[in-house]
Structure 1
Amino acid sequence: YGIEKFIEKCKESVWRYRNEWEKLTERMAYWLDMKNAYATMTNDYIETLWWIFKETEKRKLLYEGYKVLPWCPRCGTALSTHEVSQGYRKVKEESIYIRFKVKSKDSEWQNTSILVWTTTPWTLPSNAALAINSDIEYVCVPDPEEENHWLVLGKKNFEILLGKGFFPETYKNLPAFQIDSFSGREMVGLEYEPLYPDNAPYKVYAADFVSAEEGTGVVHIAPAYGEDDMRLGKAEKLPILSLVDEEGKMLKPGYKWNGMFIKDADPLIVEGLRQRKLLFKTEPYEHDYPFCWRCDSPLMYYAKTSWWLKTTAVKQKMIAENKKINWHPEYLKEGRFGEWLKDLRDWAISRERYWGTPLPIWRCGACKNYSVIGSYDELKKKTLKSGNKYFVMRHGFAEHNSHDIASSNIENDNYKLLPKGKKEIAKTAAKLKKEKIDLIFSSDFLRTKETAAAVADIIGIPKENIFFDARLRDVNVGIFDAKPDEEYHRYFSSNLEKFSKAPPNGENLTDLKNRLMRFLYEMEEKYKERNILIITHEYPTWLIQAGAKGLTDEEAVILKGKKKDFIGTGQMMKLDFIPLSHNQNFVLDPHRPYIDKILLKCEKCGGEMKRINGVCDVWFDSGAMPFAQNHYPFDFAQGKPFANKKLEYPADYICEAIDQTRGWFYTLLADAILLGRKAPYRNVLSLGLVLDANGQKMSKSKGNIVLPIDLMNKYGADAVRWYFYTINQPWDEKLFKESDVQAVLRRFILIFWNCFTYWKIYGRAAGSRTSYGSPTSIINKWLLARFNQVALEATKMLDNYDVVSTGRLLENFVIEDISHWYIRRIREKMKNPNSKEAKEINAVLGKVIMETAKILAPFTPFISEMMYQEMNPSSPRLRSARESVHLENYPVVGKTLSAASKKLLKDMEVTRDIVSKALEVRTKFGIRVRQPIASLKIKSQISPASPRQSRGRANLKNNKELLELIKGEVNVKEIIFDKNIKEEIELDTMITQELREEGILRDLIRQIQDIRKKEGRKPNEMLEFFMATDEKGKNFIVKYAKEFKKSINAKSIIVRSVLEGGYDVKVGEFVFLIKSEK
């Protein structure tokens, strides 16, 4: 397939998924600057990564080492410790206990085997030694399976295995002559027989990593496959037997398992040991095993030469900086993240991959010296060069130039130089004399040939040193040949389009650039130390300069600028050319395989340096984003476009999943500290995983995955967002149920929208406005005070990153305070929209809804914006200068509440408490709320048990407005303060006939209001009502006609015995047929 095709496919994938990401980001209303979003594959980003590498090398924090590291046999690359930490999961495997026979002439060790436990049978063919702990006590006991044979293992381990039943019960009381106890020191230096024949000496060595808590107290050592093993191997100069290849296949000819994958080979290796009577026991073993986070393949530990960042050298600095970071939840600082930093290891930074940031390290083939490159400029300086110097010249002024005619077809080539052009050439040629031109390469058009001949004659170049090349011809304009230049230019919407669009029978500018650059690279290969003049046309001069610099199409357009011609006729310019790492269109591209072709000159011996094959760990890329997204430090240097730009560092806030404590959170900190910087972020909010309703991870294979975009399309993004903001703390796991999102929509989003809709409907009637001076009504004063209280609390909570409490506070405010309390209390007053009260209510409610929408905008951006647009100057309802709610200032309500506001809020709290208790009594006695009752008694005596509440109740005695609120909400005729009642409140539950009829009337009014809604009537619309009922019903209507007529907004009420059509309504013992007309 080829690396180049693969790399291009990778790029396509990046842009494809970037588009998907942008669509989802926009749908969820996630505020990002997507036009300037960084991508880790861009040239600027990679250059910053190279700079970081250079800086770490300067600080002696970059080194090459042969170490055992986690290796993915499927991906064919190493992984860093933080990558490995993301892929652990529980597995159950067969562990084995095997006999290693002691090889000794000492009679004490005759017929003895050392018992060893391992979970990785595939490593046994690479065994090079056994390790014991010299401070542990060991025992030698009879082998229960083999007569006259003995087993050696740790004493503690023996007791554990005895308890598991690995040895007979009788071994609990072995006689002294059958059990020998000794120190591990006595075993050091013992030789043993290899499991698989080899000439190497196999001995027992002491190691402090051997434990008496697990296994047998003896560890099998395979230096190629374990960190501890490798350390011991280096210390004792053990052979490194690597009998597994990079694909995880066994390399041991002559065995059945040769060529098999390690995990597949395990059973065959175990069976072979059993047949040779070396297998003592097998045991299922459950443990955490690492799998590749990319492909889910089991990892293996493998000895490889790799490049490392010495993070252990800056470990203490990382720990110190972590203490300054504000973590949410707090326990992560010293817990998951802090513990990770304490156990920090060096970072294996190189990967044996094709796609990724190439390691900027070149090694000399002769002296093995290496060089780390920190910028593209440094790369150019150190690139092996041909020594050629290039000059590009445009032909002199010719006949077609005088008529502004395009000429690109060689078959119609009959345009000669004019005298003006010859003078231009002579002037330029005089300047060229000092450049000592060796060779002239020219386009094969008549005007360029004439130019080449004239220049050669003046500067003294023989004819044999003049060459003509079709690749230097002008751009092929196709059907526009021999036509005015302007027609060709008008064919394109811009100069940029010329790179992708070709005229019929012609070529685009990318085609032109590519043939020019193929010519230039051929010159570079063919000639050394020559001064070469290239004579061509205007567009080729422009495009060869762009190609030599490796410019993108957009950059090439900027290079040309707005001037008509890039270069004048007969003019010449230098062409600074050094071979670049470029893609197939000669655009700078530092990726493989292009970068692999760039050779450097060794500064030490002058030899040829080739780039090492590795690419960077992708987590290094992501950790560098505070610097690389801004092309730091390059765009900050003098003369660069962002010379005065300030690096926004550190970030105030970052947010990611909790597993990123060993991913992005860590690599951000590591990259920064390696550069000698402070922590790159001040505050971290960590997010828990979203699981299914049963607590299982979501995956396509399990069929339990839920796509966010589907949820948003079904319930709206605001409902999905609000679910996550309020369901539980951000860092807690979420057991996702779709019904919870549906509940959020009904419970909060729609209620807030209904509040707004109510204001909008009644606001029109009352003359929509949000300014009415200082409110006079206590309910309006309270709503404003309560909003200010909520805004203060919400601000404080958000400043402390307490998102959940903020969300729940705002939800309670909208549902309980605005919808259930305030709007319910002002409905009657809004029925007369022209009243002073209605206008004041409209202003207050409108203001509160608007200000609440502003606070909610970061949480529920869509509904907040919809409300804002309905209320903004275009209505003109609210006078505001902002285009969007998201451009508004966050509501500022002062630092504290006034004393009057605090008192009002306390009084209303008591009021609502009384109402709540009274309604509980109603429910207890089965009295519906629309049924009026005679009286409510409130205990006026201050109780020592609850002085604050009882004092608050007593204070209500003289507050008529609050008492009226209680009357209306509880539906009671009279409130009596009585210090002698036992409970806090008492209701008179006796329903008189008059009260009963009043309750029936209220039920009838409510049902008629429902009919008005069904028919789509406006609240203030006057209607004529026709009612059919019996004599008893007529008398009831007549009795309450005045109140009834006013309540249903009726012009008139006509009662008949018979009525055609209408709505059947039954209230109490009355039955009505009701119909309305305008």
Structure 2
Amino acid sequence: MSTPPLSRRYDPLAVEKSVSELWKSLNIVEKVFEANSDGPLFSFLEGPPTVNGYMHIGHTRGRVYKDIVLRYKTMRGYNVWRRGGWDCQGLPTEIEVEKRLGITSKRDIEKIGLERFVEEANKVVDHYLSHWRRASERLGLWLDYDNAYETRRDEYMEHVWHLLKKAHETGDLVESLRVVPTCPHCETALSQHEMAQGYEEVSDPSIYVKMPLEEGGYVIIWTTTPWTLPGNEAVAVKPDATYLELQVGEERWYVAENLLTAFTEITQTKNYKVVGKVDGVSLVGKAYRHPLLDKVPQHMGHRHVLVASEHVSLEEGTGFVHIAPGHGPEDYEIGVKNGLNIFCPVTSSGVFTAEAGAYSGLSVWEASEKIIQDLKERNLLVKRAEIVHSYPHCWRCGSKLIYLASVQWFLRVDRIKQRMVEENRSVKWWPEWAGSNRFGDWLLNAQDWCISRSKIWGTPLNVWRCESCGEKHVVGSRAELEEAVEKPAVKRLHRPWVDQYVFKCEKCGGLMKRVPFVLDTWIDSGVAFYASIDALRNTELFKKLFPYDFITEAIDQTRGWFYTLLFTSTLLTGKAPFKSVLNQGHVLDEFGKKMSKSRGNVIWAEDAFSTYGVDPLRIYLVSKAEPWSTINFVPSEVRETAEDLNILWNIFAFASTYQKLDKFDPRTHKLTNYMHLLRPEDKWILSRVNDLVAKVTNSLEEMEIHRAVREIMSFIVEDLSRTYLRSVRRLAWTEAETPEKMAAYACLHYVLRRTLLLLAPFAPYTAEILYQLQKTETDKESIHLE
């Protein structure tokens, strides 16, 4: 045997240290990467972690799943493609830079300069990238980090430019005035899939407002966003609905018949009488006076009328909907259809402009209370209450989002939507419902992708516009830009340097300058299927790897990376970039609470490694539930897992001690030589281990990773330790070196070797050190090369 006797007790941290030194001295990781070069290809695409913070226990669980699958495939003889990758740009990093520099607004950035901001962003990325690599390597996730892709590199960003150039040529890249979700803190527009990731339960004002009809009476509207009332341009009515005319004191109110009971209960309207009934269509075209007319002079110059819309709900509210075309996607559509003014007197920072009259200079949240008070003073407030509802928040900074009309750049979805739906049907999803229902439904409702961001640290939008005639030119590569500017080689594609490159308009001779947007960071990771391998310069490698056999990330990436990958790949190639997807569940704290810095309950990966040891942690995280299920992290349960590994440790300690005493040598005492001497107990354990191999293999093929590791640990504790080992002990304790004893040793050696091979993808350190204990000079250098 090539290693010293085992310590009395399993110490995962000591095992890690010893094995890490072994792997490093023998270059095992590099040898694993080179293994099976003639075997069938298994291509894995790494979903790049965003390197703006430290790895936590949720990240850890996901990265363990990746490693298990890749180790399993390697041990099955596959030539595994496993390049690492890092998501370096966008809002997450900018927010971290702002914290470091004490920046609170764009004006602060202008003071320090874009160059310093970008250099600080690079420092942030360098810092966290170093941590992520160190933590990932310690976790045992063996990826090609030396050649890992980074989304901040110019050659990577060129692939984004290439995609947008192609989209421009097919008419799928468009500039348009639309209403988009906007983060007032980050001061930028967001996309549909970004918005979908940030809903939180909040309490907001819920108000019922009287809109005075010019002919007399009031239509009653309901809103939970009072700040949008300065932008009101119409009231929508459902044309085929029935509305009741109520006498309330000296006033006449109109509400939908279906909503009367709910309305009167919520608003506590008791003394009323139904005096009439009208069809919605008869109300269309009636004029009303804006409720804040004297406060927002912009509304004095035109009439406000009731318009027809099938979007009006009869499930809640009053049956009348206040329409602010500058503050809602559906409102915008209604506004365009009816020729309404697209009035949006709010800046990207959520502050009212001078056009908002009395509310100028107030944030939308500050203005809400003032608006409610103004309505009350005008006797136009029917009821003010509070509503707890799910409301979109910025996926990175946590601020409440607002809808604003602004000119943005979009990738159109209509041409490729059906193709995406069809391609998704060919993908293997674990679990199946995540693909057919969750992701499939998302695809059916996919909207144009808003890709422009009013930020700094990101891939620059590659559109140049002529100052004179407005002609646009989409640049597809660094070489194309260099040719256009007719200057020495372009040095950097990031802002502010890229903004210095201007060139002559071919149409009118005017000056073309870059449109000052950067791109949604999700487009960076979205093009990883070809940018990660520099496909523009490595076409043969791309043909070899595409589509990738396997990807896996958290289940919320059905609205994120899974979607942006499919979108960009379908746009560029017409095909899905992946063949199979494993969804991962999240990790909550011991009490089922979401982990957050504000709660102080975040478990950081490196802390957990040092507290519990990597292997017990790995097994615990993947054994507790299906990969796609959410789990609670319970420290005592991790320690129980370590105790189970200690049982395996003791089995090997026993085996190595007594086999050495009795001069057992697996090279000469082969199991095949003793088949005729096997006892019933030996035959039973051989049957059990062979059955275990089949179960674990089948479970891993179906991504039932929890079931696979449970079978292994149950076999170790129940079959090996509590049952079979007792019979071997009785033989080992006899003095005579009988053939039956050697047969039992040969059987035990065989079973332990098979067990270690099964355990290796789950507990790579522990499996390695125990393999080294058994290893002879004819064996492979590492269990991970078996």
After superposing the two structures, state which structure 1 stretch, 147-156 or 116-125, moved more.
147-156
Identical residues among aligned pairs (%): 36
Q: Deviations over 1:366-418 (max 9, x none)?
A: 221111111111112222x3xxxxxxxxxxxxxxxxxxxxxxxxxxxxxxxxx
Q: Do the aligned partners of 2:267 and 2:382 also contact (CA within 8 Å) in 1?
A: no
Counterpart CA distance in 1 for 2:716 and 2:730 is: 20
What is the SS of the residue equivalent to 1:281? Answer: strand
**Offset of residue 196 of structure 1:** 2.6
Q: Which residue of 2 aligns with 1:127?
A: 232
Q: Deviations over 1:546-565 (max 9, x none)?
A: xxxxxxxxxxxxxxxxxxxx
Q: Which residue of 2 aligns with 1:885?
A: 783
2:559 to 643, 662, 665: 662
Q: Which residue of 2 aligns with 1:781?
A: 683
Counterpart CA distance in 1 for 2:703 and 2:230 is: 56
Q: Deviations over 1:197-253 (max 9, x none)?
A: 322211111111111222111111111101111112112221122221111012358
Counterpart CA distance in 2 for 1:833 and 1:58 is: 84
Q: Which residue of 2 aligns with 1:653?
A: 550
Q: Which residue of 2 aligns with 1:752?
A: 648
Q: Which residue of 2 aligns with 1:732?
A: 629
Counterpart CA distance in 2 for 1:293 and 1:839 is: 63
2:729 to 803, 823, 827: 827
RMSD of equivalent CA atoms: 1.7
Q: Which residue of 1 aligns with 2:706?
A: 804
Q: Which residue of 2 aligns with 1:327?
A: 429
Q: Residue 519 of structure 2 aligns to which amino acid in structure 1?
A: C
Q: Residue 777 of structure 1 aligns to which amino acid in structure 2?
A: L
Q: Does 1:58 align with 2:169?
A: yes
1:692 to 589, 604, 609: 589
**Offset of residue 689 of structure 1:** 1.1
2:580 to 677, 680, 683: 683
Q: Which residue of 2 aligns with 1:96?
A: 207
Q: Does 1:18 align with 2:98?
A: no
What is the SS of the residue equivalent to 2:737? Answer: coil
What is the SS of the residue equivalent to 1:287? Answer: strand
**Offset of residue 50 of structure 1:** 1.0
Gaps of at least 5 residues in structure 1 are 105-109, 386-577, 583-588, 637-642, 889-1078
Structure 1 residues 704 and 833, CA gap change in structure 2 (3 angstroms): farther
Q: Which residue of 2 aligns with 1:713?
A: 610
Structure 1 residues 645 and 652, CA gap change in structure 2 (3 angstroms): closer
Q: Which residue of 2 aligns with 1:189?
A: 285
1:4 to 111, 115, 131: 115
Q: Residue 535 of structure 2 aligns to which amino acid in structure 1?
A: Y
Q: Do the aligned partners of 1:47 and 1:631 also contact (CA within 8 Å) in 2?
A: no
**Offset of residue 122 of structure 1:** 0.6
Structure 1 residues 254 and 102, CA gap change in structure 2 (3 angstroms): same
Q: Which residue of 1 aligns with 2:488?
A: 579
Q: Do the aligned partners of 1:765 and 1:833 also contact (CA within 8 Å) in 2?
A: no
Counterpart CA distance in 2 for 1:257 and 1:664 is: 40
1:180 to 258, 268, 276: 276
**Offset of residue 159 of structure 1:** 2.7
Q: Which residue of 2 aligns with 1:293?
A: 395
**Offset of residue 93 of structure 1:** 1.3
Counterpart CA distance in 2 for 1:244 and 1:228 is: 18
Q: Do the aligned partners of 2:587 and 2:631 also contact (CA within 8 Å) in 1?
A: yes
Larger Rg: 1
Q: Does 1:596 align with 2:499?
A: yes
Counterpart CA distance in 1 for 2:138 and 2:416 is: 42
Q: Deviations over 1:587-606 (max 9, x none)?
A: xx210001011113323223
Listed as ranges, the matches of 1:35-54 within 5 Å are 35-54=146-165
Counterpart CA distance in 2 for 1:321 and 1:766 is: 62
Q: Residue 277 of structure 2 aligns to which amino acid in structure 1?
A: S
Q: Which residue of 2 aligns with 1:515?
A: none
Q: Which residue of 2 aligns with 1:153?
A: 255
Q: Which residue of 2 aligns with 1:222?
A: 324
Q: Residue 866 of structure 1 aligns to which amino acid in structure 2?
A: I
Structure 1 residues 78 and 52, CA gap change in structure 2 (3 angstroms): same
Structure 1 residues 254 and 201, CA gap change in structure 2 (3 angstroms): closer
2:442 to 317, 340, 343: 340
Structure 1 residues 769 and 601, CA gap change in structure 2 (3 angstroms): farther
Structure 1 residues 780 and 703, CA gap change in structure 2 (3 angstroms): same
What is the SS of the residue equivalent to 1:264? Answer: helix
Q: Deviations over 1:750-771 (max 9, x none)?
A: 1111111111111211224224
**Offset of residue 163 of structure 1:** 3.9
Q: Deviations over 1:621-658 (max 9, x none)?
A: 1111110011112233xxxxxx6675411221211111
Counterpart CA distance in 2 for 1:196 and 1:285 is: 23
Q: Do the aligned partners of 1:71 and 1:300 also contact (CA within 8 Å) in 2?
A: yes
Q: Which residue of 1 aligns with 2:310?
A: 208
Counterpart CA distance in 1 for 2:504 and 2:246 is: 66
Structure 1 residues 833 and 225, CA gap change in structure 2 (3 angstroms): farther
What is the SS of the residue equivalent to 1:693? Answer: coil
**Offset of residue 41 of structure 1:** 0.5
Structure 1 residues 635 and 833, CA gap change in structure 2 (3 angstroms): farther
Q: Does 1:763 align with 2:654?
A: no
What is the SS of the residue equivalent to 2:599? Answer: coil
**Offset of residue 14 of structure 1:** 0.9
Q: Residue 157 of structure 2 aligns to which amino acid in structure 1?
A: I
Q: Does 1:70 align with 2:172?
A: no
Q: Do the aligned partners of 1:116 and 1:218 also contact (CA within 8 Å) in 2?
A: yes
Q: Which residue of 1 aligns with 2:385?
A: 283
What is the SS of the residue equivalent to 2:727? Answer: helix
Structure 1 residues 644 and 807, CA gap change in structure 2 (3 angstroms): closer
Counterpart CA distance in 2 for 1:780 and 1:758 is: 17
Q: Do the aligned partners of 2:292 and 2:375 also contact (CA within 8 Å) in 1?
A: no
TM-score by length of 2: 0.82
Listed as ranges, the matches of 1:206-605 within 5 Å are 206-252=308-354, 257-383=359-485, 385=486, 578-582=487-491, 589-605=492-508
Q: Does 1:848 align with 2:751?
A: yes
Q: Does 1:141 align with 2:242?
A: no
TM-score by length of 1: 0.60
**Offset of residue 806 of structure 1:** 0.8
**Offset of residue 784 of structure 1:** 2.5
Q: Residue 450 of structure 2 aligns to which amino acid in structure 1?
A: A
Q: Deviations over 1:178-197 (max 9, x none)?
A: 51100111111111112233
Q: Does 1:609 align with 2:493?
A: no
Structure 1 residues 804 and 833, CA gap change in structure 2 (3 angstroms): farther
Q: Do the aligned partners of 1:321 and 1:678 also contact (CA within 8 Å) in 2?
A: yes
Q: Which residue of 2 aligns with 1:906?
A: none
Counterpart CA distance in 2 for 1:312 and 1:667 is: 15
Q: Which residue of 1 aligns with 2:31?
A: none
What is the SS of the residue equivalent to 1:304? Answer: strand
Listed as ranges, the matches of 1:1022-1037 within 5 Å are none
Q: Do the aligned partners of 2:535 and 2:542 also contact (CA within 8 Å) in 1?
A: no
**Offset of residue 694 of structure 1:** 1.9
Q: Which residue of 1 aligns with 2:599?
A: 702
Q: Which residue of 2 aligns with 1:494?
A: none
Counterpart CA distance in 1 for 2:514 and 2:357 is: 39
Q: Residue 488 of structure 2 aligns to which amino acid in structure 1?
A: P
Structure 1 residues 833 and 631, CA gap change in structure 2 (3 angstroms): farther
Q: Do the aligned partners of 2:312 and 2:319 also contact (CA within 8 Å) in 1?
A: yes
Q: How many residues align?
A: 662
Counterpart CA distance in 1 for 2:736 and 2:765 is: 30
Q: Does 1:814 align with 2:712?
A: no
Counterpart CA distance in 2 for 1:708 and 1:38 is: 23
Q: Do the aligned partners of 1:769 and 1:846 also contact (CA within 8 Å) in 2?
A: no
**Offset of residue 834 of structure 1:** 3.2
Structure 1 residues 616 and 647, CA gap change in structure 2 (3 angstroms): farther
Q: Residue 562 of structure 2 aligns to which amino acid in structure 1?
A: F
